[in-house]
Amino acid sequence: MGYAPLGLWFGREDSSMNGVLRWLSLLGLLLLTGCHRPDMPNDDFVGIWVATKKSVLLFPPVPGESLLKLQEGGTCTLQKFPGWTDLRGPLSLVSGNGRWQLTARDGEQVVELEYRNSAMPERGTWTEYLHISGHGLGLRLYVILDYDAWTLYEYQKR
């Protein structure tokens, strides 16, 4: 399974230096908004998070919404979440239940999800880290699907 081209995030294909500069700008924005602020309280994250329209385009269409439900007490429900069913296989959309918490990783605050894929519970639990950007109504959670191409799957709070 391939990933969407870099241009998808900016509405067009662009392999020129302008495209590289746009990605470096996005990276700088993520670092500035995500790393240099006080830790945020759990209450800011409790609720239903839905994938943005651009993120949904990264996978073949499937019925239903891609969402995260982060609940008080640290439980979570994932529906059509980008994850692996097998470490050797391609990334796919998975559903399941688990736990979440705010934690520090590589010097930044992240949301740690520990979940069990409901289609393959015998595989055990999986852990994913969601990067945080923005605050208030502009708060976003990101799963980095491909570090080399900076392909991001973005969630916003409903």
Tell me if 93 is assigned to some domain.
Answer: yes
Tell me if 102 is assigned to some domain.
Answer: yes
Tell me if 130 is assigned to some domain.
Answer: yes
In whole angstroms, what is the distance from residue 116 CA to residue 96 CA? 6
Pick the closest to residue 32 from 104, 128, 102, 132 (CA basis): 132
Tell me if 125 is assigned to some domain.
Answer: yes
pLDDT of residue 112: 97
Q: Is the pLDDT of residue 7 over 90?
A: no
In whole angstroms, what is the distance from residue 82 CA to residue 41 CA? 25
Tell me if 1 is assigned to some domain.
Answer: no
| Residue 19 neighbours by CB under 8 Å, 6+ apart | 6, 7, 10
Tell me if 142 is assigned to some domain.
Answer: yes
Q: Residue 67's beta-bridge partner residues?
A: 50, 79
Measured at the alpha carbon of residue 151, what is the angle toward residues 43 and 10, in degrees to the nearest 5?
95
Tell me if 51 is assigned to some domain.
Answer: yes
**If DSSP codes are grouped into helix, strand and coil, which group holds residue 106?**
coil
pLDDT tens sequence across 90-124: 778 899 999 999 999 999 999 999 999 888 888 88
**Which residue range(s) make up the domain with 28?**
6-157
Mean pLDDT of the chain: 80
Tell me if 27 is assigned to some domain.
Answer: yes
Write the CATH number for 100: 2.40.128
Residue showing tokens 């930044």: 108
pLDDT of residue 17: 58
Q: Is the pLDDT of residue 27 over 60?
A: no
The domain tally of the chain equals: 1
Torsional class of 16: left (φ above 0), alpha (ψ -120 to 50), beta (otherwise):
beta
Q: Is the pLDDT of residue 82 over 70?
A: yes
Task: Judge whether 96 and 79 are in contact, CB under 8 Å.
Answer: no
Mean pLDDT value of segment 67-72 = 96
In whole angstroms, what is the distance from residue 97 CA to residue 55 CA? 21
pLDDT of residue 89: 66
pLDDT band for position 19 (50/70/90)?
A: low
